[in-house]
Chains A and B, each alone.
Chain A
Amino acid sequence: MQPGFSDPVLDAQSAFRAVLEAMSHPGRIIPVAPAPLPPVPLSPAMGAVALALADADTPLWHDAGAEAGDWLRFHAGSPLAEAPRAMFLLATGTPPALAGLNLGTEEAPQEGATLLLAVKSLRPAGVLRLRGPGIQHETALGVEGLPEGFWAERAALRPLFPCGLDIILCCDSQIAAIPRTTEVV
């Protein structure tokens, strides 16, 4: 069994602050350090975010296989759930259909799931243009490794706001967040 955070209190705090900064500045690439070394295919960033936020209260879905599943269960203690019922989803391959996930309700939009998505690369310059709260004018982001049509699938959820999904893109030990308010063109 691979270890989790070397300091569960302070490492979880710094991982949370990285996610908070990422959510506050959508599309900005934020390093997560120190991060644990989870079993492949989980990246250090995805492992760190999961351990910082998931616990016995948060049903979790993942497609990372048995070894990574054992690691998550041991260190986070989250019950496993089908994708539509999960609060946290860790997708290392093709993500499940977004419209089928928990998007929250109009009275409780905060119940919408958080999707952690493994990508091949994150670059601060790229073809994606992001606008919305947290972005002063517009920000650019380059993402490789997402299935074709992913952004169109996400854009289809935007009219449902305040219901929706919040996405954290993970690559090695870096993250970039795309909360539901962000417009991606």
Chain B
Amino acid sequence: MNAPLNPVAEHLAGYNFAYLDEATKRMIRRALLKAVAIPGHQVPFGAREMPLPYGWGTGGIQVTAAVLGPRDVLKVIDQGADDTTNAVSIRRFFGRVAGVRTTDRTREATIIQTRHRIPETALREGQVLVYQVPMPEPLFKLEPRVSETTRLHALGDYGLMQVKLYEDIVQHGEVATAYNHPVMVNGRYLMSPSPIPSFDNPKMHMNPALQLFGAGREKRIYAVPPYTEVRSLDFEDHPFRPIRAPHACELCGSTESYLDEVITDDQGGRIFVCSDTDYCAERRGE
């Protein structure tokens, strides 16, 4: 017998490494490679039922399971935090079914599965960021028919979205999307960045890390390779502006990070704290 190849721990007996069977992993891996080869294009895949409900990251978790190896170090965040229910469950899931090392530290991680944030700490080459995506189709609120949006993507016809942004400006004086602001990838495909705050959109542009997106219920995978142009949709006279609460973090004092507003009492008291818990803890020297 060979010695166990897993350097950390044996994974749970009775399950294949990283939960999914090998035929499913191969299918997801083929979809991932085509997604990387066609940046921003949504590749259909045969999403499986996972042991967690839709909306909890079934797409992200399948992408992570197909990519993950025994030498990876996994970090999972939910809205920037490592210690929320969703993040803790998914981290523990892979700790058990793959025996991989997990971490809270952005710097130490090789794979980061995220729900709705990009870490504040700059990512580096070789890291993989896996987004959980509830709705991969950026046009679905404007055109509900999948057959029609598929055609619009084939034609590169994104006039609908431009008109929607224009109407926002006419009605509100500015583009009224604080999150999930659509982006153009490599000048060809309109892509939903998943519901990350528009504050995070610029981080996608020319990022050295590989960005993979998994939508379980909608059964779509898409990707942004490293060093790829990602432009937030805007107009020359109304350029895209990332939104950030004009405060400093109550805990670490950062004036650069994305902030969560926290209600502290029933007298109207409120504080602003970093959404990225690892970034905040590191700044406080923890």
Seen from chain A, the residues whose Cβ lies within 8 Å of a Cβ on chain B are 7-10, 12-14, 16-17, 19-21, 23-25, 52-55, 57-58, 105-107, 109-110, 112, 114, 133-136, 161-162, 166, 179-181
Contact = CB atoms under 8 A, between A and B. Distances in A.
28 contacts: A7-B2, A7-B5, A9-B22, A10-B70, A13-B17, A16-B25, A16-B66, A16-B67, A20-B29, A23-B33, A24-B225, A52-B29, A106-B155, A110-B34, A110-B35, A110-B41, A112-B34, A114-B33, A133-B225, A134-B36, A134-B225, A134-B228, A136-B206, A136-B227, A166-B33, A179-B36, A181-B37, A181-B39
Contact of A166 (B25, B37, B69): B37
A7 B17 CA distance: 12
Contacts of B66: 16
Nearest to A76: B26
A181 B34 contact: no
Contact of B154 (A14, A17, A106, A166): A106
Contact of B227 (A13, A16, A53, A133): A133
B176 interface: no
A24 B69 contact: no
Contacts of A179: 36-37
B36 A20 contact: yes
B101 to A, nearest CB: 16
Given A10-B5, A106-B154, A133 B67 contact: no
A136 B43 CA distance: 25
B188 A17 contact: no
Given A20-B33, A110-B44, A181-B39, 19 more contacts: A9-B16, A10-B5, A10-B17, A16-B29, A52-B29, A53-B33, A54-B26, A57-B23, A105-B154, A106-B154, A107-B151, A109-B34, A109-B41, A112-B34, A133-B186, A133-B225, A134-B226, A135-B227, A162-B41
Contacts of A20: 29, 32-33, 36, 67, 210
Which 7 residue pairs across A and B have the least CB separation, nearest first? A179-B37, A106-B154, A110-B34, A133-B228, A134-B225, A107-B154, A110-B43
B230 to A, nearest CB: 10
B203 interface: no
Contacts of B153: 107
B38 A181 contact: yes
Given A24-B36, A180-B38, A181-B37, A55 B67 contact: no
B38 A109 contact: yes
A181 B26 CA distance: 23
B67 A162 contact: no
A94 B276 CA distance: 53
Contacts of A55: 23, 26
B243 interface: no
A180 B210 contact: no
A180 B41 CA distance: 13
B69 A10 contact: yes
Nearest to A11: B5
Of A24, A109, A110, A162, the most chain B CB neighbours within 10 A belong to: A24
B27 interface: yes
A133 B17 contact: no
Contacts of B229: 133
Residue with the highest number of chain B CB atoms closer than 10 Å, among A23, A110, A133, A166: A133
B22 A24 contact: no
A23 B225 contact: yes
